[in-house]
Amino acid sequence: VDVKDKGLGEFGLIERFRRGVPSNDRVALGIGDDCASIRFTPGAEVLVTTDMLMEGRHFRPDDPLIEVGGKCLGVNLSDIAAMAGRPIAAVVAVALPKARAVEAGLALQEGIVAMAGRFGVALVGGDTNAWDGPLVVSITVFGEATDRGAVRRSGARPSDAVLVSGPLGGSLIGRHLRPEPRVREALALHQRLEIHAMIDLSDGLAGDLRQILQESGNLGAVLDADAVPIHPDAVAMSLVDHRSPLDHALSDGEDFELCFTVDPDDADRLLASPPAGVMVYLIGRIDEGPGLRLRHADGRVEPCDVRGFDHLSGGGA
Ligand code: ADP
Ligand code: MG
């Protein structure tokens, strides 16, 4: 593989990656051999997740690559959070544009290392390529479920309370490049009470909550329109495109907040005293269905027709 600008070359670049990575006691063998070797807790359920970001599809050519690197790791950490797991280690595969391979590789790496450092995740390896195409970066993260088990999408029950961990909508203004994976929040919540079902909000609340409903045996849910927390970015976008802030909150995606369901009594206790540093908003209730509905301020209940983002059905970034 030829990554040959600035005279650094593929091996020089990988050597820079290697030196930029702090030591981590989970790592028996890190960057530099044919495989990495990771120490998992004996008996732990290992979680694995992967995500790919493609220039021109998931980010723009002029987006800062430090942020792109941080985002690529961040979205994976958000998936580990959605299982209430602990992230342990990551591997990074990149296809760098030949004309600026070293520069791009180093900038990506800087963002990845910074995000990894914030969550104590070990960078243990990867694959570095260059080509005449656009930049593509794919990160795989390994984590562990806690001894309470991994929280799945499929555990919601009728009468469960539906909660989210933060305000939603409008991330496209810029927040989408700087996800705040809710790893600590998920662990704190899961330690406090039994989370029945959970998902991280990447494709929009309406679409992602539908995943929970479908996986939990085709249940339904009613959301209180007034209770959905609206991010200021959703209001800002609404002023420009005249779609309502609620519509943005339901459909925009890339919020990387958690949506989860718990026993209604647990929800009351949680709202009365949430774990330190954790935000929780009660937005609705699971029922037998059908489907997702919205209850408006005047009491009207209507089917929610908002679609989530679907990469295979065309549409935006
Ligand atoms: P191999 O040919 O045996 O797969 P490579 O020469 O591709 O090995 O990689 C050498 C070492 O550098 C390996 O430990 C690999 O995991 C690591 N590595 C390669 N690219 C990256 C990267 N982008 N980030 C982190 N580690 C990397
Ligand atoms: Mg090898």
Residue 314: pLDDT over 60 = no
Q: Does ligand 1 lie within 6 Å of residue 95's CB atom?
A: no
Most ligand 1 atoms within 8 A of CB, residue of 13, 31, 34 to mutate: 31
pLDDT mean over 67-90: 98
Report pLDDT for 10: 84
317 pLDDT tier (thresholds 50, 70, 90): very low
Neighbours of 218 (CB within 10 A): 11
Report pLDDT for 3: 53
Q: How many CA atoms lie within 13 A of 314 on its CB side?
A: 0
pLDDT mean over 277-306: 95
Cα gap 297→168, rounded to integer Å: 19
Tens-place pLDDT, residues 234-248: 999 999 999 999 999
pLDDT mean over 47-66: 97
Tens-place pLDDT, residues 153-207: 999 999 999 999 999 999 999 899 999 999 999 999 999 999 999 999 999 999 9
Which token pair is 286?
């699971």
Atom of ligand 1 nearest to the CA of 128: 20
List the beta bridge partners of residue 127.
93
DSSP label of 31: B
Residue 147: pLDDT over 60 = yes
Atom of ligand 1 nearest to the CA of 123: 25
Query: Whose atoms come closest to the Cα of 13: which ligand?
Result: 1
**How much distance in Å is there from the Cα of 35 to the middle of ligand 2?**
7
pLDDT mean over 105-114: 97
Q: Does ligand 1 lie within 6 Å of residue 11's CB atom?
A: no
CA distances from 234 to 27, 70, 202, 307, 316 (A): 41, 23, 15, 17, 16
62, with CB counted inside 10 A (0-12, 13-18, 19+), is exposed
User: pTM of the full predicted structure?
Assistant: 0.94
Report pLDDT for 315: 44
Instruction: Tell me the pLDDT of the chain averaged across its residues.
Output: 94
Instruction: Please give the residue that has the higher pLDDT: either 227 or 307.
Output: 227
